[in-house]
Amino acid sequence: MRRIVSIIILIIIAVGFIFAFSKIPFGKDKINVANYYIKKGIKQTGAVNIVTSVVLNYRGFDTLGEVTVLFIAAVGLGAVLFVERKIQKNMDDKEDKTKRASLILRTGSRLLFPLILLFGAYIFVHGHLTPGGGFQGGAIIASGFLLMYLAFPKQRINKKTSGLAESLSGLIFVGIGLLGLVFSGYFLTNFLPKGIPNTLFSAGIIPIIYIAIGFKVGFELTGIIDDLLERSR
Amino acid sequence: MVNPSLLIAVPLAFAFSIPLFGLVSKKIGKYIPVVALLINVGISFILIPQILKKPAVVSIGGWSPPFCINLVVGPLGVFLVTLISSIGLLVAIYAISYIKEEPTEKYHMLFLLLITGATGIVLTGDIFNLFVFFEILCISSYALVAYNKDKEGTEAAMKYLIQGSVGSSFVLIGIALLYGMFGTLNMADIASRVTSADPTFLFISLAFLITGFGIEAAVFPLNAWLPDAHSSAPSSISAILSGIAIKTGVYGVARMIYTIFNADGILTFIAFLGLLTLLIGEMSAFRQNDIKRLLAYSSIGQIGLIVFALGIATSLGVFAGLFQIVSHALAKALLFLAAGYMIYRVGSKSIDSLSGLGRKMPLTSFAFTIGSFSLIGLPPFAGFISKFSIVYAAIQVKKPIFLVFVVIALIATVIEAGYFFKVVQNLYFKEGKNVDNVTETSGYIIVPMIILVISIIVIGIHPQFITGLLKGAAGELLGRTGYIGWVLGGS
């Protein structure tokens, strides 16, 4: 009975969905807002990557929100998985059952780790020029840390430092927004000179915010991995 | 004029900085939400008279709408922000000494971000931005429901997480449909174009959005998560969830129906749903033995009443619904805070174990009694005025169906009175068993309760303090052309 009801509900939703999508005139040039971004984006924001100009300038407030969502996810996971230090010490005393990683993994990850970090940094520093940005760069950096966790399960990042880096980069984002409010009366305005498009030092506040996001996302995702690993032991 | 974007930026900055303050001293963390929300309360009170004169449209990033995200601070926004920051502030004061379980630093961060999310929801004028803040609110409340790390809380949080994610996805689908159709995310811009679209298409996207927000608002039949989540969270969080969080869901539904879609046709249905929610909530509450579950079910009932009032859709009806939002937020926050500390002192959630506390904890019991009397709708408390206005507004519609609705709503009130009197009777007129060592609360715990009691009585006796603001807010919901005009200029 329950199954039949849920199948009926699903069918109703699917029919509604198909009908609604069939009404949308896809491919027609009706999107004012998008056209505005494409035509004026580079001139107004200085970022040649139009996606970045939308994400960090026209809709920068959303990005601040998304960064906060990720922050909440990391903090919330930390709160829910929190174990008292006492229990943890007992756990450390016990024989650690994790197997040592293989020689290939250990050597390989030692070699790759700095390169991955460098690549991640490259992605977020060039967010206003090439595809990618703070979130992507941060995720790459976190993947480097994940590799290190796999190769050396007993080693840990310094939770305190990473937490501080997280808050500091979040504060930089909000702070830049507030500076915009001070200098030109609008929160998150691009108040710095736009520079020459296609160069590294262009697009005003965009690269600075992306660097902050890169650090924040990198440390947050690493923190999540660390929390999960700590709990699974 | 103070820039309203500070209302979001300030608590966000403080929330990010809590770990940095933790470097100086571990004890500072718990005072940060109080400071941040004190600033917010200050800003919102400064804004009220200015906004009532002239609503503000604040661009973020410096471009003109619809090309950037903008905040629309009208009477409705400023009213809800004031309510959110005030209740948030009181609960933050309560939490200073109530929250003892580690990691308190993370609790205070999540709490402040939850309030930021609620603030963002009611201020933003961009539908995707609304979704982002909705996520901030929801995800922090999932984590906070599980904060006690007991089995009950984890299970409740998991239920809430699953149903809440379905709700968020529905909202996102609705937004995607609207964006596909109109190519814009600005709420006023969409509202000005809805007439050009196919009615069935509009109905489907509205259905997705209302279902999504309806889950957070806990409107029947989407309320399965609420009793568990509200009763197993720490009491300070229950107060915020019942007082603030579910109201933002109602705000979402109201904003969609009134401002964006102008969907007059479904309002009677919405009123009917509200009534059904009211009846089911109150009937389930009547059967509870667990004080926090009782309060949680009573929240479902009250939300039903609010939705019913908003569904009446006359200016008096919407006004009454908004008034009910105020009186429920004050009373339910008070009830959860009082009950939370009684439970803490007695060590049990069952109503029987609270017997005899009237003598041992006179202030807390008195606060609980005032809260429940206001919720039932006894004069001279705030709840009386709001309930009376709802009944009056429903009768004034002069449709026979609404007369039936009024009778049902009154029956629900009688049920509500039944179970609250039972609890109060337990507090004062029954001999307690194991309450000899129980002592009265003190310090940070009692201050917010006293403030809430005073505001319930003051608003009950002098409703004119808030009626001006509420009338403006009702006008904003009913006057969508005005709203579009503020944002897009002209017409």
The tokens describing B387, both together, are 């309930």
Task: Report which of residues A55 and B123 the model is more confident about.
Answer: B123
In DSSP terms, which residues pair with B71 in a beta bridge? Answer: B58, B124
The tokens describing B219, both together, are 């409107």
Q: Do B183 and A32 touch (CB under 8 A)?
A: yes
In DSSP terms, which residues pair with B56 in a beta bridge? Answer: B73
Spatial distance between the Cα atoms of A147 and A153, rounded to a whole number of angstroms: 10
Candidate from B59, B106, B128 with C-beta closest to A75: B106
- Decide the pairing of beta strands B56-60 and B69-73: antiparallel
Instruction: List Cα–Cα distances, B53 to A121, B71, B73, B479, B480, in angstroms.
Output: 49, 17, 12, 16, 18
The nearest alpha carbon in chain A to B186 belongs to: A33
The nearest alpha carbon in chain B to A26 belongs to: B180
Q: Do B58 and A187 touch (CB under 8 A)?
A: yes
Q: Do A75 and B61 touch (CB under 8 A)?
A: no
Spatial distance between the Cα atoms of B173 and B190, rounded to a whole number of angstroms: 16
Contact B26, A195 (CB under 8 A): no
Whether chain B has a CB inside 8 Å of the CB on A73: the answer is yes
Min Cα distance B232 → chain A (Å) is: 14
Spatial distance between the Cα atoms of B488 and B491, rounded to a whole number of angstroms: 8
Whether chain A has a CB inside 8 Å of the CB on B429: the answer is no
Backbone dihedral angles phi then psi of residue B107, each to the nearest 5 degrees: -55, -50
Q: Which tens digits make up the pLDDT trace of A149-160?
A: 889 888 888 888
Instruction: Tell me which of B21, B58, B68, B123 to substitute to probe the interface with A (most A C-beta atoms closer than 10 Å).
Output: B68
Q: Enumerate the residues of chain B whose CB falls inside 8 A of the CB of residue A162.
A: none
Q: Which tens digits make up the pLDDT trace of A192-230?
A: 888 888 888 888 888 899 999 999 999 999 999 888 888
Q: How far out from the chain centre does Cα B319 lie?
A: 16
The tokens describing A146, both together, are 């994940």
Residue B89's nearest CA partner among B115, B122, B118 is B115
Q: Do B143 and A33 touch (CB under 8 A)?
A: no
Q: Please, which residues have CB within 8 angstroms of residue B362's CB and are 6 or more apart in sequence?
A: B440
Residues 133-162 of B with CB under 8 A from A: 133, 135-136, 139-140, 142-144, 146-147, 149, 154, 157
The band of A88, judged by pLDDT with boundaries at 50, 70 and 90, is low
Residues 105-134 of B with CB under 8 A from A: 106-107, 109-110, 113, 116, 120, 126, 128-129, 132-133
User: Helix, strand, coil: what percent of chain A each, to 5?
Assistant: 75, 0, 25
Residue B450's nearest CA partner among B372, B376, B363 is B363
The residue with tokens 């000179």 is A193
pLDDT of B491: 43
Phi-psi region of A45 (alpha: psi -120 to 50; beta: other; left: phi over 0): alpha
Min Cα distance A115 → chain B (Å) is: 30
pLDDT of A230: 80
- Per DSSP, the three-state class of B290 is strand
Residue B244 DSSP symbol: I
Q: What is the mean pLDDT of residues A84-93?
A: 54
Q: Do A167 and B19 touch (CB under 8 A)?
A: yes
Instruction: Tell me which of A68, A85, A169, A184 to substitute to probe the interface with B (most B C-beta atoms closer than 10 Å).
Output: A68
Candidate from B16, B132, B147 with C-beta closest to A79: B147
Min Cα distance A204 → chain B (Å) is: 13
Q: Do A72 and B120 touch (CB under 8 A)?
A: no
Q: Amino acid identity of B151?
A: K
The residue with tokens 């930026």 is B9
**What value, to the nearest 5°, has the Cα angle with vertex A33 and ends B51 and B76?**
20
The tokens describing B489, both together, are 């200029």
pLDDT over 60 at A44, yes or no: yes
- Per DSSP, the three-state class of A81 is coil
DSSP B337-354: HHHHHHHHHHS--BGGGG
Which ipTM value was assigned to this complex?
Answer: 0.90
The beta strand positions in B7-159, using DSSP E, are 56-60, 69-73
Min Cα distance A120 → chain B (Å) is: 24
Residues 9-38 of A with CB under 8 A from B: 16-17, 19-21, 23-24, 26, 30-34, 36-37
pLDDT of B77: 94
Quickly count helices (H) and strands (E) in chain A.
Answer: 9, 0
Residue B246's nearest CA partner among B298, B290, B287, B282 is B298
Spatial distance between the Cα atoms of A228 and B4, rounded to a whole number of angstroms: 39
Spatial distance between the Cα atoms of B469 and B464, rounded to a whole number of angstroms: 9
Residue B234's nearest CA partner among B141, B130, B128 is B141
Neighbours of B352 (CB within 10 A): 12
Min Cα distance B150 → chain A (Å) is: 10
Whether chain B has a CB inside 8 Å of the CB on A78: the answer is yes
Q: Which tens digits make up the pLDDT trace of A130-151?
A: 888 889 999 999 999 999 988 9
Q: Do A75 and B201 touch (CB under 8 A)?
A: no
Min Cα distance A78 → chain B (Å) is: 8
Candidate from B129, B135, B140 with C-beta closest to A61: B129
Contact A191, A204 (CB under 8 A): yes
Spatial distance between the Cα atoms of B11 and B15, rounded to a whole number of angstroms: 6
Residues 62-91 of B with CB under 8 A from A: 62-63, 66-69
Q: Enumerate the residues of chain A whose CB falls inside 8 A of the CB of residue B142.
A: 76
Spatial distance between the Cα atoms of B433 and A218, rounded to a whole number of angstroms: 55
Min Cα distance B38 → chain A (Å) is: 19
Residue B377 DSSP symbol: T
Q: Do B106 and A37 touch (CB under 8 A)?
A: no
The tokens describing A163, both together, are 């937490």
Average pLDDT of chain A, as a whole number: 85
The nearest alpha carbon in chain A to B170 belongs to: A13
- pLDDT per residue, tens digit, chain B (491 aa), is 788 899 999 999 999 999 888 888 888 888 999 999 999 999 999 999 999 998 989 888 888 888 889 999 999 999 999 999 999 999 999 999 888 887 888 999 999 999 999 999 999 999 999 999 999 999 999 999 999 888 888 999 999 999 999 999 999 999 999 998 888 899 999 999 888 888 889 999 999 999 999 999 999 888 889 999 999 999 999 999 999 999 999 999 999 999 999 888 899 899 999 999 999 999 999 999 999 999 999 999 999 999 999 998 889 999 999 999 999 999 999 999 999 988 988 888 888 888 888 888 889 999 999 999 999 998 889 999 999 999 999 999 888 888 888 999 999 999 999 999 999 998 888 877 766 777 777 778 889 999 999 999 999 999 998 999 999 999 999 988 889 998 887 54
- For chain B, give every domain's residue range: 6-488
Residues 89-148 of A with CB under 8 A from B: none
Q: Please, which residues have CB within 8 angstroms of residue B426's CB and are 6 or more apart in sequence?
A: B351, B352, B354, B355
Candidate from A23, A84, A164 with C-beta closest to B198: A23
The nearest alpha carbon in chain B to A162 belongs to: B19
- Say whether the peptide bond before residue B221 is cis (omega within 30 degrees of 0): yes
- Say whether the peptide bond before residue B103 is cis (omega within 30 degrees of 0): yes
pLDDT of A45: 80
Q: Is the four-CA dihedral B241, B246, B247, B248 of positive or negative sign?
A: positive
Spatial distance between the Cα atoms of B308 and B34, rounded to a whole number of angstroms: 34
Q: Enumerate the residues of chain A whose CB falls inside 8 A of the CB of residue B208.
A: 16
Neighbours of B377 (CB within 10 A): 23
